[in-house]
Amino acid sequence: MVKVEVLTSEVVVPAEDTPAGSIWLSNLDLAARRGYTPTVYFFRSNGVPGFFAADVVKDSLAKALVAFYPLAGRLGIDCAGRVQVDCTGEGAVFVTARSAHYTLDDLMSEFVPCREMRDLFVPPTPAPNPPCTLLFVQVTYLRCGGVVLGQAMHHSVCDARGAALFFETWASICRGDAAAGAPVAPCFDHGLLAARPGPARAVTYDHPEYKPEAEPVDAVAASDYASAIITMTKVQVAALKARCPGASTFRAVVALVWQCACRARALPPDAETRLYSMIDMRARLDPPLPPGYFGNAVVRTSVSATAGEVVSEPLGQNARRAIAVTSQGGDYARSLVDYLEGVDAMNLPRSGISRAHLRAISWVGMSLYKADFGWGAPAFMGPALMYYSGFVYVMNAAGKDGDLALVLSLEPESLPEFRKVFAEELARLEVV
């Protein structure tokens, strides 16, 4: 196994005094996956002296932690046993390392999200329970002069959009566009997503995605998956959307991925297949959450069909199913928050899914892939690890305007067939 040599490991504290106390976490924070979300950014050396100099990156992190001071705290527990964030100012872990093996071009051709890559380029993290550090960062210097920036942020603190705001702020400070503060002021008032008072509380929707289910007999071990990164060109995306009238980019792509996954898995026509997704509720609530809301504001949704329907019906019908599963409004989120008030939100089922199902997450339009720390935007950005088989991210492809990157995991025996049928469908798009 290729090794990465750790050069330094230290704790970076905020550059200034920050507020003390604790931050209450909402039911959506408690219901989020209890663990760290590891991502990696690949940067190509531009030959400028001081490229990703450790002291510059570290000092800008210290300044970013002033605005995002909860990330310098620790996960804690209140007197009632509820998880919260303790704003202790203890800091984030910052590691520097080097690889005498990898060049950036090697990684661009070889990298897929997996345990080995996560272990190379993201610092090790502890059990994600109180009291634990909330942010880990690693800067790895490659043989060619390029850099991998890896990080792991605790999911109980924020979702992907919140993480994007933090990285946008950190990058802005590092490149000198802001002496301090954030492009958008972060909001840590998680009480904006509190359950309604008793008499006003109303669960008006069913929320099966948050209810215990029997362990599927065909569940795949969390570590038993193969992953891939597939790029879709701007032309292919446009042609796909033309086949799915009224569907967003994400919904159109997911419709095709779902269809190809059912084919690759050779599911019986009468088998139930479920599409799970997550919806950002920030703009859907009334009133909407502040633009800088830093927390978990996404809800799980799902829709089911038979494999025969998904495979044989026109792609536009799958897109309409994807639209149905991602169109809920603010009343749906309020119903969910109220529902979670009556259950043990900290111990919800968080296992994998049946091999007939798919979980699709949209990072389309987020600024994660544009994180310019002063030396140019990343050549690649994506998850360092997939959680289980059947997980799909759809995101903008770094450095390729209009292209998309599809990052997915499937059963090892299903992925080669998925690649084949997906490539066939993309080829058809190009000739239509």
88: Cα within 13 Å, side-chain hemisphere? 15
Task: Classify 320 as helix, strand or coil.
Answer: helix
- The 10 Å CB-count burial string (b at 16+, else e) for 25-37 is bbbbbbbbebbbb
127 is written with which tokens?
Answer: 């059990």
C-alpha–C-alpha distance, residues 221 and 392, integer Å: 17
With vertex at residue 126, the alpha carbon angle to CA 378 and CA 123, rounded to the nearest 5 degrees, is 30
Amino acid at the residue 41: Y
Tokens of 142: 């490659």
Note the residue count of the chain: 432
Strands 404-410 and 391-396 come out as: antiparallel
Q: What's the Cα-to-Cα distance from 429 to each of 117, 156, 233, 257, rounded to whole Å? A: 33, 40, 11, 14
DSSP secondary structure letters along 7-47: EEEEEEPPSS----SEEEPPHHHHHS-SSEEEEEEEE---S
Which residue type does 5 have?
E
Residue keyed to tokens 């897929």: 112
Beta strand 22-24 pairing with 358-362: unpaired
Angle at 294 between CA 291 and CA 297, to 5 degrees: 80
Catalytic residue ranges: 155, 372
Residue pair 392/358 in contact (Cβ under 8 Å)? The answer is yes
Q: From CA 201, how far away is CA 211, in angstroms rounded?
A: 19
> CA angle, 263 as apex, 260 and 264 as ends, to 5°?
85
Name residue 312's beta-bridge partners: none
**CA–centroid distance for 322 within its chain:** 19
Q: How far is residue 328's CA from residue 280's CA, in Å, rounded to a whole number?
A: 10
DSSP 389: T
* 3-state secondary structure (DSSP) of residue 394: strand
